Chain A
Amino acid sequence: MLVDSLVIGLLVAKLRGGSFESLLQVSVKGIWWVILSFVMQYTSIFFFPTWLPVIIPLSYACLLWFGWLNRTQPAFLLVFAGLLLNVLVMVCNHGRMPVDVAVASQMAPQDLPALLAGESGKHVAMSAHTHLNLLGDIFYLHAPYPHHTVLSLGDLLLSIGVFLFLQAVMGTRRTAVAGGVVHG
């Protein structure tokens, strides 16, 4: 979804007259924390799944630190809040994100047995035993949206934050026009 919001954000900003040049001029601090976080997550999911409960919070801690370092950037507090909500629900569920079973069965029925058996990457099937289910993966995006995906509230905030960040830093072509008629 991060990729989606990046692509949509870039497209919309460009349509509104924004420029890629101004995007390149933005100095984001500590981008290495993001790369480190992704490397940690994917290594853990594919090679050391037993370490997941430790690695996932750690990788999210890196992302949170990145969000906090850049909190003065436009809309980054939204990104930070989104990450925080995701960390919260994952920490409460031993490093895994609860996913709505009804949604998962619609989206990828072939992966359902693995999910129910608890072997689906960083996801776990949502049930009465999982915690903070309202913050889990429950928002199902489908047609006419170009592809199927499921989001948590944290993902949603993060995506909106990324979208707004791109709109703010890429600027617009619009120029202000004079306001209304004032008596006097």
Chain B
Amino acid sequence: MADVHCAKVHRLYLKVYTYCCYAVFALLFFLNREMISTHEWVVIVTMAGITALFELRSIVLPSGEELTMVTPLLFATGVCYGNFAVFCTCALMMLILVSYRPKNVWIVLFNCTMYSLAANCALQVYQWTGGMIGGRLMLANALPYLSFALVYFAANVVLVSTYLAIRNQAGLLETMRSLIDKQSVLIYFIMMGFGLMITILLQAEGLTGVVIFSLVLVALGASFRRYYEMYDHFRSLSVKDELTGLYNHRYFQETLQKMVMEQERVSLLLLDLDHFKVYNDTFGHPQGDELLREISKLLRSSIPASAVACRYGGEEFAVILPAMTAQEAFVIADQVRSCIASHMFNGMEAMPRGCITVSAGLSTYPEMAENKEQLILLADQALYQVKYSTRNRVQLYVPVMD
């Protein structure tokens, strides 16, 4: 009850915070309003179009980071045409993105508001430090440019982390720290280099230069994305089993080896599908494959997020359970077993017991085994104790001497 109340309060805080941001945006828009010439309007529309395009088709790096040119474009617009032009650009970008993806209306609204508020703070400091709106780009103005970059970054981090801290009910400083990692700061400052470049282009060549430069970047981004997708696909193929989508045998061996090498506590669960040969002989291999796929799905859904599910081979599966004692692992193993035993599978009536079941063997490191091979061997021995007796059961390894 208290939890529900707490969640409600947090949702309320989040709403208050976002509406405050929108109100500040609207107020600043109103206070900064001025007549715009047709030339400025052409620049604003073009910049809004390009920023929206980059928001929709950002350049994805193999690390998963996304490069968007929104900040550099807002920097160039602000430095050349001032605050109101930045507000108009953000508002138009908002309009374009919302009409393109109406479902994302709140995300778009919030992001665009953040962009414009951060740019507004940065432009204020830019002017305080001697930067001129519409002035030529000069090396002597390095301080204002640097202050723009720093203040924009700081304002953006503060605004976004406040939102995240309220949403995730986490500490503000912690959230800020999680946003500022070395790589993202580096990428941000490289992007600000692009900002200087766009400003030079805008001043020397006008919009044509900016449009051509941006289109080239979008085209490059599109072709890179294709390669990154391929890279991702091949990476996935190298560690995954194609039929079931679980990790493959190689990945299983590597992961387990790494954990044992680092002397981390780990439990290993080996599962074997009972009477799979009967199923295959009765319904054929394609339906057998389908059964393996369904079992894998159930397996994935019934283990914790930290666990690693692999296809060991044939109808055998392995689950690595990091940092788990034998007793904790046993509870999870039994959940997996009963989940499969109670599931309605196609053709289960043809099986010897009228249902699909698995047998499972369990061992744990470092209590039972000294190395990876022994860990696997012991889980395998436990599994075969079940296989040769009742099946549909989980067996923790017990030495025969006992």
Contacts and interface: CB of A to CB of B under 8 A. Distances in A.
Interface of A: 77-78, 81, 100, 126, 133-134, 136, 138-140, 142, 144, 153, 156, 174, 177-184
Point out which of B38, B46, B232 has the most chain A C-beta atoms below 10 A from its C-beta: B38
B41 A179 contact: no
A181 B38 contact: no
Contact of B233 (A77, A100, A174, A178): A178
A184 B305 contact: yes
26 contacts: A77-B99, A78-B99, A100-B38, A134-B36, A134-B41, A138-B41, A138-B42, A139-B42, A139-B46, A153-B45, A156-B45, A156-B49, A174-B226, A177-B232, A178-B233, A178-B237, A179-B236, A180-B236, A181-B232, A181-B236, A181-B239, A182-B245, A183-B305, A184-B246, A184-B300, A184-B305
B308 interface: yes
Interface in B212-269: 212, 226, 229-230, 232-233, 235-237, 239-240, 245-246
Interface of B: 36, 38, 41-42, 45-46, 49, 99, 208, 212, 226, 229-230, 232-233, 235-237, 239-240, 245-246, 300, 303, 305, 307-309
B38 A134 contact: yes
Contacts, number: 50
Question: How would you classify the secondary structure of chain A's contact residues: helix, strand, loop or mixed?
Answer: loop
Nearest to A139: B42
A140 B212 CA distance: 15
B303 A184 contact: yes
Given A138-B41, A180-B232, 5 more contacts: A77-B99, A133-B38, A181-B232, A181-B239, A182-B245
Contacts of A178: 233, 236-237
A138 B309 CA distance: 61
A95 B41 CA distance: 23
B133 to A, nearest CB: 21
A83 B97 CA distance: 20
B233 to A, nearest CB: 4
Given A177-B229, A179-B232, A184 B38 contact: no
A142 B208 contact: yes
Contacts of A78: 99
Contacts of B45: 139, 153, 156
Contacts of B36: 134
Contacts of B235: 181
